[in-house]
Amino acid sequence: MTKIINPGLLPTSRRNVLRGSVLAGAAAMTGGATFAATRRAPLSKTHAPMAYFTQAAEQQAAAEAAPADLTGYTRVKMDLVAPPFAPVHEQVATGGPKIIEITLVTEERLMVVDEDTGAEVWALTYNGSVPGPLIICHQGDMIEITLRNPVESQLEHNIDFHASTGALGGGGLTHVYPGEETVMRWKATKAGCFTYHCAPGGAMIPYHVTHGMNGAVMVLPREGLKDAEGNSLTYDSIAYIGEQDYYLPMDENGDYLKYEVAGEDYADSLDAMRTLTPTHSVFNGAVGALTGEAALRAKVGDTVLMIHNQANRDSRPHLIGGHGNYVWETSFSTPPLKDVETWFVRGGTAMAAMYTFEQPGVYAYVNHNLIEAALLGATAHFVVEGEWDNNLMEQVVAPHSFET
User: Contact residues for other proteins (CB under 8 A)?
Assistant: 115-116, 118, 253, 255-256, 258, 287-288, 291-293, 295, 320, 360-362, 364, 366, 370, 373-375, 377-379, 381, 383, 387-388, 390, 394-395, 398-401
Element of type H or E holding 22? helix 14-30
What's the distance, CA 22 to chain centroid? 30
Strand partners, 245: 281
Of residues 62 and 393, the one with the C-beta less far from other proteins: 393
What is the CB neighbour count within 10 angstroms for residue 89? 16
Instruction: Report the alpha-carbon distance of residue 404 to residue 399 in Å, rounded.
Output: 15
Give the shortest CB-82-to-other proteins separation in angstroms.
18
Distance CA 209, CA 109 (A): 14
Q: How far is Cα 372 from Cα 359, in angstroms, rounded to an integer?
A: 26
Rounded to a whole number of angstroms, the minimum distance from the CB of residue 249 to other proteins is 14
Q: Is the peptide bond before 131 cis (omega within 30 degrees of 0)?
A: yes
* Residue of 338, 307, 301, 326 lying closest to 87 (CA atoms): 307
What is the distance between the alpha carbons of residues 257 and 9, in angstroms, rounded to a whole number? 42
Bridge partners, residue 246, by sequence? 280
Tell me how far apart the alpha carbons of residues 86 and 78 are, in angstroms, rounded to a whole number.
Answer: 11
Task: Give the nearest distance from C-beta 277 to other proteins in angstroms.
Answer: 17
Name the residue nearer to other proteins (CB basis): 283 or 332: 283
List, as own/partner pairs, every contact residues 20-27 make where C-beta atoms lie below 8 angstroms and the sequence separation is at least 24, other chains included: 21/180
Task: Report, as residue numbers or ranges, the catalytic residues.
Answer: 157, 160, 162, 197-198, 208, 213, 318, 341-342, 368
Question: Least Å distance between CB 346 and other proteins?
Answer: 23
Is the separation of the CB atoms in 309 and 126 below 8 Å?
Answer: no
Q: Which is nearer to other proteins, 93 or 295 (CB)?
A: 295
Give the three-state DSSP class for 267.
Answer: helix
Residue with Cβ nearer other proteins (308 or 381): 381
Give the number of other CB atoms < 10 A from CB of residue 78: 19
**Which residue lies nearer to other proteins by CB, 168 or 366?**
366
**In the complex, what is the shortest distance from the CB of residue 304 to other proteins, in angstroms, rounded to a whole number?**
18
130/137 with CB nearer other proteins: 130
CB atoms closer than 10 angstroms to residue 83: 26
* Shortest distance (Å) from residue 299 CB to other proteins: 13
